[in-house]
Amino acid sequence: IEEGTSARASDRPIVIAHRGASGYRPEHTLESYRLAIRMGTDFIEPDLVTTRDGVLVARHENEISGTTDVAAHPEFAGRRTTKTIDGVSVTGWFTEDFTLAELKTLRAEERLPQVRVTNTAYDGRFEVPTLQEIIDLARAEGQARGRTIGIYPETKHPSYFASIGLPLEKPLVAVLQENGLTRKSSPVVVQSFETANLRELSRLIDVRLIQLLDAAGRPYDFTAAGDARTYQDLASPAGLKWIARYADGIGPNKNLVVPRDAAGNLLAPTDLVRDAHRAGLVVHAWTFRVENQFLPADFRIGADPNARGDITSEYELFFRLGLDG
Ligand code: G3P
Ligand code: CA
């Protein structure tokens, strides 16, 4: 909200550019983040993994065969391997097996070339960015525009990285401290699917934290063997109260807000937004973008003659349900 306006914060949801302007540039590149800022986003969202030397970099996954040209580098052929990550067997090349200097010799590529066809034109031009480079970019672009650009990082697979001696919390806290970004008022929001990671961060720093919730019934802590609680449990009124002890909000898969039946038809909205607000939590749902459109083309919001079945209408629908971002 602009200073001096009378609008309440709830009149305008926060816009969070998921992986940057990922519909227009290869995701998680400085160019993708820069374009998102120029398009007017409030926050840019880097997914964070680590290098072998403990530097946080932005990739959607630590396995990088689909997001870099690593397979074309004969010097790294011997590093192709298979690992189990959060119970899933994954084959390829992994950021934690590369130093930052090695990773910087790779070019970032479009992860979804069939879906984001125009982004393939940019393949081979961009580097894998570090968190520090992303913060520097946000600061520089923000200063040039006279506004603050926030960073909304997601810690990817934190319990896995801790299990191999490369915990994400330590470098994340260090980078945030070095940049003076350790207060609730700082333009930083950290999100994670893993409760243990967020609870640890809540003990170490005072930035805003968001508990991600998935629509599937997977356990919320991948290392919590035998713990039967699921995302659905976390999304219950009791679960939300528990989240409020360590986090400032939830980041639900949008299907937890407006579910679908088995045939894909939209069902009535759940009480999740209301229950989260009652627990004192903000709600930032994911993800609104053309390639995974939520609404059928003929969808209408009530009797609103202006409602359209495109991504704008999807956004409007969720805004009316009370989303904060
Ligand atoms: O912000 C939540 C969202 O980013 C989590 O899913 O897979 O898109 O990183 P993903
Ligand atoms: Ca993410």
- The residue whose C-alpha atom lies closest to atom 7 belonging to ligand 1 is 60
What is the DSSP secondary-structure string of 156-175? -SHHHHHHTT--SHHHHHHH
- The residue whose C-alpha atom lies closest to atom 2 belonging to ligand 1 is 286
Q: Which two tokens stand for residue 297?
A: 């083309």
pLDDT tens digits, one per residue of 75-120 = 999 999 999 998 899 999 999 999 999 999 999 998 888 777 788 8
* Nearest atom, ligand 1, residue 253 CA: 2
Give yes or no for residue 47 CB within 6 A of ligand 1.
yes
Q: Which two tokens stand for residue 131?
A: 């968190």
Q: 279 with 220: CB under 8 angstroms? A: no
Q: Ligand 1, from 44, 49, 287: best to mutate by most atoms within 8 Å of Cβ?
A: 287
What local confidence, expressed as pLDDT, does residue 302 receive?
Answer: 45
Domains annotated for the chain, with CATH where assigned, are 9-157 (3.20.20.190), 168-325 (3.20.20.190)
Please confirm, yes or no, whether 284 is among the known catalytic residues.
no
How many A from CA of 18 to the centre of ligand 2? 7
What local confidence, expressed as pLDDT, does residue 104 receive?
Answer: 98
pTM higher than 0.80, yes or no?
yes
How many A from CA of 136 to the centre of ligand 1? 22
pLDDT tens digits, one per residue of 13-59 = 788 999 998 888 899 999 999 999 998 899 999 999 999 999 999 99
How many A from CA of 242 to the centre of ligand 2? 23
Helices (H) and strands (E) in the chain, counts: 10, 12
ipTM of the complex: 0.96
Residues, the chain: 325
Partners of 188 in the β-ladder? 151
Please confirm, yes or no, whether 157 is among the known catalytic residues.
no
CA distance 60 to 94: 12
Give yes or no for residue 31 CB within 6 A of ligand 1.
no
Q: Which of 132, 155, 233 is nearest to 201 (CA)?
A: 155
DSSP secondary-structure letter at 301?
-
Give yes or no for residue 251 CB within 6 A of ligand 1.
yes
Give yes or no for residue 16 CB within 6 A of ligand 1.
no
CA distance 249 to 18: 17
Indicate which ligand has the atom closest to the C-alpha of 214: 1
